[in-house]
A and B are shown apart, each in its own frame.
Chain A
Amino acid sequence: MLEKALVGTKRYYMLLAILMGIFALGFLFYLRQLQVGLSITGMGRDVSWGFYIAQFTYLVGVAASAVMVVLPYYLHNYKAFGRVTILGEFLAVAAVTMCVTFVLVDMGRPDRVMNVFKYPTPNSVMFWDIIVLNGYLLLNIVIGWNVLECERHSVAPPKWIKFLSYVSIPWAVSIHTVTAFLYAGLPGRGYWLTAIMAPRFLSSAFAAGPSLLILLCLLVRKYTKFDPGKEQIQSLAKVVTYATLINVFFFFCEVFTVFYSQIPDHMLHFQYLFAGLAGKSRLVPFMWFSIVGMTVTAILLTNPKLRRNENTLAMLCGMVILTTWIDKGLGLMTGGFVPNPMEKVTEYAPTIPEALITIGVWALGFLVLTLLYKVAVSIKEELKA
């Protein structure tokens, strides 16, 4: 089936070339980072995780959201999603690829990465995160590839594939839960020390992931002969609507506890993000845009008319992606580290090389996504013909 990824239109080759170019640029800067160290980034002793780990966190969510097409199809026998499960699974593969790359890029000593396996340490959440992420990657490659192969030859997938699909459902939940536990169990970081972090991670994931999938379905329909289907997109839109509403609800649950209890260790981080602290307020406009935009989008999504119109739906999905990305990609990391344990305020902003390396990893992910989608769509087109 891989041969399907090798032949395509001129536009397809162009897209590949552009993605490879961006990846190569990022890679060049990464080589520089290997030489001079992480001082190439905007991180420092106070904000010691930045853009890389933030993208990792966000993309774990995108990966987990594949469960939103897999679960209705396998557990509720919702046949319509049979057409898009493969798109969800391949999106997960691309997303986990980016996650793993972001973790690697963030390491001070990537040459020692094998130490994690040489000295396995179960009391570290990172140990479990590595297991669940790699397991999830493997599951989605095996399931996606085999189901597609069977579809191509018009035979039913083997029983063990169905079994693996059931396994992948709780596994998807586990990857984002464990990722939340990386942060939610640290005693000195008030912004992260909350039991609602894993639920919030999941709700924002199930909002952002299916939104991205809807946009990808629309693109696939526009540029190929395969139509993922109107009903499918509408069902996904309902998932996005509920997940976004729940995400906003969870956010306000957190805000209530923090501000009614008035415990400074927890409040200061919100104050930094939404009002500024000690005269430093770089993230304030972003955070307000994120939460107001997310709330408004959630309310608009409840209107069936706006949802049914695919143009407005696409815009609303774009807003969900953007606002959840600001929340998780910008606010979560910096907000957790500011103020620092001595209650001093050091702000963070990514540097240009850091941003280019980040974009390079995204390009790598979209390269994987393009290749996998090309295979999937070609098979689907072939079947239709």
Chain B
Amino acid sequence: MGIDRREFIRIAGLSTLLGLGGKGAFELLRPGQVEASMAAKPAAEGVVRWAMVVNMRKMDDDTAKKCAAACHRVHNVPNFAQPKDPKDALPPDIVNRYEVKWIWPEHFHNAFPGEEHPHMPEQMKNLPFLLLCNHCDNPPCVRVCPTKATFRREDGIVNMDMHRCIGCRFCMAGCPFGARSFNWKDPRPYITDTYPGYPTREIGMVEKCTFCAERLAQNMMPACVEASSGALVFGDLNDERSQVRATLKRYFSIRRKVHLGTNPQVYYIV
């Protein structure tokens, strides 16, 4: 008994085909999965929903710089303007093109294009609005990623598997906030002090702010929040007693490009 070679190849081939097609079909027939990544989630009991409030009343250039520096240091974000070896120096326009940014300051009219008007307080125009990934409830980057390398966690964090990313940059086109960076160039020669607690990256993949998922796992606040002297408030939006909820209740806040329906979870008090 047994099967001959031909028969074996036939069965093996067919089952491979079915296996491959089957997975795709399964995904297709599980609409819950797709919906989960597309629709805003209602607040559920006992579920954490991380969010950040940027209190511009307490923000100044120095604080903004400290926040960005703290984040970029603990995440090994390269600074292309400061190579380890002077012979790797790059001209400024190239630095702008390759730049990797997780959190960075912009003026009001860049942070909230179209919202500025000539009669607003002069000082507001020049405040450093810290921009970062909004960890949207309905993130377009997750929707467009062809490998689920970008995904939304239960706690609302939009995270990335940098080992899965194929570098197609669909997410960069999809993100309406410019929050995503691509490794155009090997970042390692541009990291002055490599921080041992976080991996450095290679060329060819996308990265962004993760709300410090790795620090949250150790019950630590995000690095930028720690460095912000109270200008950044971080916490659980589903917890009534949390500081973010108290701050949002007390002050009026705005968010970036809400009309696009991504439901951003970084709030700005102006």
Q: Are A and B physically bound partners?
A: yes
CA distance A186 to B140 in the complex (A): 7
Question: B182 at interface (Cβ–Cβ under 8 A)?
Answer: yes
B172: which A residues are within 8 A, CB to CB?
A: 45, 48
Given contacts A186-B174, A264-B114, contact A124 B144 (CB under 8 A): yes
A39-62 interface bits toward B, Cβ cutoff 8 Å, 1 = contact, 0 = none: 100011110110000000000000
Q: Give the residues in chain B near A44, CB-CB below 8 Å.
A: 96-98, 184
**Provided the pairs A107-B168, A112-B164 are in contact, do residues A122 and B28 lie with their beta carbons within 8 angstroms?**
yes
0 or 1 for each of A111-126: is its CB under 8 Å from B? (1 = yes): 0110111111111111
Q: Would A38 and B204 count as touching, CB distance under 8 A?
A: yes
Say yes or no: is A156 at the interface (Cβ < 8 Å to chain B): no
CA distance A229 to B175 in the complex (A): 50
Q: Are the CB atoms of B165 and A49 closer together than 8 Å?
A: no
Q: Which residues of A contact B166 (CB under 8 A)?
A: 107-110, 112-113, 115-116
Contact status B175-A188, CB under 8 Å: yes
Map CB proximity to A onto B189-222 as digits: 1 under 8 Å, 0 otherwise.
Answer: 0000000000000011110000000000000000
Given contacts A120-B24, A188-B257, contact A109 B147 (CB under 8 A): no
Whether B111 pairs with A120 at a CB distance below 8 angstroms is no
Residues of B near A346 (CB, < 8 A) are 96-97
B147 near A37 with CB under 8 A, answer: no
CA distance A39 to B183 in the complex (A): 8
**Contact indicator B97/A126 (Cβ below 8 Å):** no
Most buried by B among A108, A126, A265: A108
Closest Cβ neighbor of B138 among chain A residues:
A187
- Given A36-B203, A109-B167, A121-B145, check contact A188 B140 (CB 8 Å): yes
Asked if A285 lies at the interface with its beta carbon under 8 angstroms from chain B, I say no
A108 x B147 contact (CB < 8 A) = no
A344 proximal to B (CB < 8 A): yes
Cβ of B169 under 8 Å from chain A:
yes
Contact A43 B184 (CB under 8 A): yes
Of the listed stretches A19-27, A140-148, A335-343, name the one at the interface; the rest are far from the partner chain.
Answer: A335-343
The DSSP consensus for interface residues of chain A is: loop
Question: Is B262 close to A, CB under 8 A?
Answer: yes
- Cβ of B37 within 8 Å of any chain A Cβ, yes or no, is yes
Contact B143 A123 (CB under 8 A): yes
Q: Is the Cβ of B34 less than 8 Å from the Cβ of A123?
A: yes
- In the complex, which residues of chain B have a beta carbon less than 8 angstroms from the beta carbon of A310? none
User: Do residues B148 and A37 form an inter-chain contact, with CB atoms below 8 A?
Assistant: no
Number of B residues with CB within 8 Å of any CB on chain A: 57
B95 to A, closest residue via Cβ: A44
Question: B204 touches which one: A108, A122, A123, A187 (CB < 8 A)?
Answer: A108
Instruction: Report if B12 contacts A (CB, 8 A).
Output: no
Q: How far is the CB of A70 from chain B (nearest CB, A)?
A: 27
A189 at the interface (CB under 8 A from B): yes
- Cβ–Cβ contact A123 & B37, under 8 A: yes
Contacts of B127 in A (CB 8 A): none
Q: How close is B32's CB to chain A, nearest CB, in angstroms? A: 12
Quick check: is A286 within 8 A (CB to CB) of the other chain? no
A48 to B174, CA, bound (A): 11
- Binary CB contact string for chain B from 86 to 114 against chain A (1 if under 8 A, 0 otherwise): 00000000001111110000100111011
Indicate with 1 or 0, residue by residue over A161-190, a CB within 8 angstroms of chain B CB atoms: 000000000000000000000110011110
Task: Evaluate contact between A186 and B173: CB separation under 8 angstroms.
Answer: yes
CA distance A119 to B183 in the complex (A): 23
- Taking a contact as CB atoms under 8 Å apart, the answer to whether A123 and B167 are in contact is no
Chain B residues near A265: list those with CB within 8 A: 114
Q: Please provide the chain B residues from 225 to 268 with a CB less than 8 Å away from any CB of chain A in the complex.
A: 257, 260-262
Contacting residues, chain B, for A110 (C-beta < 8 A): 166
A121 B147 Cβ-Cβ under 8 A: yes
**B78 → chain A, closest Cβ, in Å?**
12
A39 near B185 with CB under 8 A, answer: yes
Asked if residues A37 and B109 are in contact (CB atoms below 8 Å), the reply is no
Q: Which of A108, A113, A125 contacts B203 (CB 8 A)?
A: A108
Q: A74 near B: Cβ within 8 Å?
A: no
Whole-angstrom CA separation of A122 from B35 in the bound complex: 11
Whether the pair A124, B114 counts as a contact (CB closer than 8 A) is no
A127: CB under 8 A from chain B? yes
CB distance from B58 to the nearest CB of A (A): 23
* Chain A contacts for B262, CB-based, 8 A: 187
Partner of A115, one of B20, B149, B182: B149
Using CB atoms, name the residue of chain A closest to B144: A124
Determine the distance from Cα of A3 to Cα of B246 in the docked complex, in whole angstroms. 78
Query: Is A106 at the interface (CB under 8 A from chain B)?
Result: yes
A residues contacting B by CB (< 8 A) are 36-39, 43-46, 48-49, 103, 106-110, 112-113, 115-127, 130, 182-183, 186-189, 264-265, 336-337, 340-344, 346
Interface residues, chain B, with chain A CB atoms under 8 Å away: 20, 23-24, 27-28, 34, 37-38, 96-101, 106, 109-111, 113-114, 131, 140, 143-149, 164-170, 172-178, 181-186, 203-206, 257, 260-262
